[in-house]
A = this chain, B = another copy of it.
């Protein structure tokens, strides 16, 4: 069998927002990148037979199943791609690793530290047997983010002094927006913190190559009670029988439930090496749709990134001649930029979904060439430890709360 005939047969669990994004990636990755193996969209899994059949047809999967255990049991599946809500990550991923499947698991790795620790331990064990695992922090694969990492690694920023990171959205500013699963602790683990805060925690640790060692946090749930949802799709949802003013068609108020996660989380932090940092994750920042913004100041330069302009990177090089220094807006669309030689000519933009295609590329390459991809489950656990420290600090009057190194906790 020639190299180009080699396939990685993917089974994906979940078909909502993340399932659609991953499908677009699996569908595209072989068409754009030259890889040592081709991903095949073999099997999709969801609990509702009708819906998953529709999803398989629409998204282009060869077959479907309603039981993820069945998916894992099949010997014609090489990769398990976990796209479910966080409460089922651990069970599925542990079973998949035990079955010798390579695993790509969406972020956050789990809903609790103990789950994440078990997953990290299992991943370390599986690794010895050549089974690969990866946590889906897709924003690492935005070319501008990869460039930031490279600038830091090359010493272009000098000694890093500051990190400031926000991830701001506004999709639940309306108090009548319903109580979807992302607003329930048992399903989602936490709110803005785990959903979007996790991204900036991972991204800043990745880019700086440094670990958050302690935090002082405040969290808030601005709207504590919300109507129960009738249905949802992606991040959108509708309220059962309820008009926009919060009253049902018949004048009765819809049933409501308690919001059990944070709407916003803010914290100050230290990273090792003397870095001072601020973080904010919120779903109540009116007008900010997907404003993941990161700025890193070093003694020799600064980089700044905004996901709402993901094709751009701002770079300030303090070693340039005085009087000529300024923030350069680098349009990250050249062949020299990470991942970009496979796409379009200079100046032709890519979008959100490309981060997943790049993630698929890196995952396929790692699996096919027998190396461990990053971020590992241990990296995912590291993020989980920060999320946990933030929650505990917020519960204890913002008191300083230290964060252990993940690897130590797995070893122990």
Contacts and interface: CB of A to CB of B under 8 A. Distances in A.
Interface stretch (A63-71, A108-116, A117-125, A325-333): A325-333
B266 A278 contact: yes
Interface in A340-363: 344-354
Interface stretch (A45-53, A99-107, A292-300, A376-384): A292-300
Contacts of A28: 24, 27-28
A333 B331 CA distance: 20
Contact of A290 (B274, B298, B347): B347
A181 interface: no
B327 A302 contact: no
A222 B276 CA distance: 10
A266 B161 CA distance: 12
A300 B286 contact: yes
Contact of A31 (B23, B162, B235, B322): B23
- Please tell me the size bucket of the interface on A: 35 or more
A286 B331 CA distance: 13
Interface in A126-163: 147, 161-162
Interface stretch (A77-85, A253-261, A395-403): A395-403
A171 B318 CA distance: 12
Interface in A203-244: 216-218, 220, 222, 234-236
Contacts of A311: 308, 349, 351
A164 interface: yes
A162 B267 contact: no
A398 B401 CA distance: 9
A297 B286 contact: yes
Contacts of A277: 266
Nearest to A216: B398
23 contacts: A27-B27, A169-B346, A170-B297, A170-B318, A218-B268, A236-B345, A267-B268, A278-B280, A284-B297, A284-B299, A286-B298, A287-B297, A287-B326, A288-B347, A289-B348, A290-B346, A308-B347, A315-B324, A324-B330, A326-B331, A328-B328, A349-B352, A350-B351
Given A284-B297, A287-B327, 18 more contacts: A17-B344, A161-B284, A162-B285, A168-B297, A169-B346, A216-B217, A217-B268, A218-B270, A235-B346, A285-B295, A286-B300, A289-B331, A308-B331, A325-B328, A327-B328, A349-B349, A350-B353, A351-B354
Interface of A: 17, 21, 23-24, 27-28, 30-32, 58-60, 147, 161-162, 164, 166, 168-171, 173, 216-218, 220, 222, 234-236, 264, 266-268, 270, 274, 276-278, 280, 282, 284-291, 295, 297-302, 307-311, 313, 315-316, 318, 322-331, 333-337, 344-354, 397-400
